[in-house]
Amino acid sequence: MDPKAGTNRTAVTEFILLGLVETEKLQCVVFVLFLFAYLVTVGGNLSILAAILVEPKLHTPMYFFLGNLSALDIGCITVTVPAMLGRLLSHTHTISYEACLSQLFFFHLLAGMDCFLLTAMAYDRFLAICRPLTYSTRMSQTVQRILVAVSWACALTNALTHTIALTTLNFCGPNEVNHFYCDLPQLFQLSCSSTQLNELLLFAVGFIMAGAPVALIITSYIHVAAAVLQMRSVEGRKKAFSTCGSHLTVVCLFYGTGIFNYMRLGSEEASDKDKGVGVFNTVINPMLNPLIYSLRNPDVQGALWRVLVGRRSLT
């Protein structure tokens, strides 16, 4: 043990990320699959961003938030996957203590931003469908920017809280992280000191981060559903359900995996399941989001096609 451990509060200078698989053949398969997933995710989300930027019809609050979500998805997968691919190529599994904390900070920053941005998107749908006459004033560009800025502030507070709290723990023994990136539940298992306060903090903040947005989203969609069912136009009802259905699908995928991962702690047997949830959070969700929002949305499909062929809409 490092004699300076007492002053540095940690004897561990690096962690060993065990990754998803152990055998070399399977590691090659994982490398190819994750490289493909990364390229598809970045390409898909950049396409959505390009479509929103160049298509005048998509210069609306809903697509402003969707563009922000696409940027977040690119950031979320970039925080974890390229580093994992680099370790697979170099056949090294180590990550420094500082790099581990940085990865954890940025992951929770972007995931927290996702929470609040999905809530802002639900509020936007509520105003558009339930308050159409005042929608343009209630969801002005200033309001949109305020919602995004507040979301970033809350996400930053969340990420800083967990990262600073983690630095108070001592790591002086095992340093093997049974995951492919640094995250709180797995690091708690390696701490030499008590993690009870950290686990309570994670549960409490997680409850607020998930509970408050979910409550607001459910409330918004109760009003939206009531308003849509009162519509006489079948076409209007279909369009409303299409845009809201895409958002609800993303919400269910995001919060479902997030609640499973962070709202239950202390189960070492769940480590392999955590890897699956981690893949869903960092790879599958960001990769599916462009598909979900474009499959049932003719406006996005048309804009994507015009981006691909290099033409802009005349309207």
Structure confidence by residue, pLDDT tens digits, 172-199? 878 888 889 999 888 998 999 888 899 8
Over 80: is that where the pLDDT of 212 sits?
yes
Residue 284 pLDDT exceeds 80 = yes
Domain coordinates of the chain in residue numbers? 20-309
Question: For residues 13 and 10, what is the distance between their CA atoms, to the nearest angstrom?
Answer: 8
Instruction: Give the per-residue pLDDT at 166.
Output: 94
Write the CA distances from 94 to 91, 102, 123, 175, 195, integer angstroms. 10, 14, 43, 10, 23
User: What's the pLDDT score for residue 315?
Assistant: 46
Please state the rounded mean pLDDT for residues 106-124: 93
What is the CATH topology of the domain spanning 20-309?
Rhopdopsin 7-helix transmembrane proteins (1.20.1070)
Q: Per-residue pLDDT for 33 more than 90?
A: yes
Provide the 3-class DSSP secondary structure of residue 141.
Answer: helix
Question: What's the whole-number mean pLDDT along residues 38-65?
Answer: 91
Residue 83: which region, alpha, beta or left (left: phi > 0; alpha: psi -120 to 50)? alpha
Residue carrying structure tokens 């809350």: 154
* Nearest alpha-carbon partner for 61 in 5, 116, 156, 127: 127
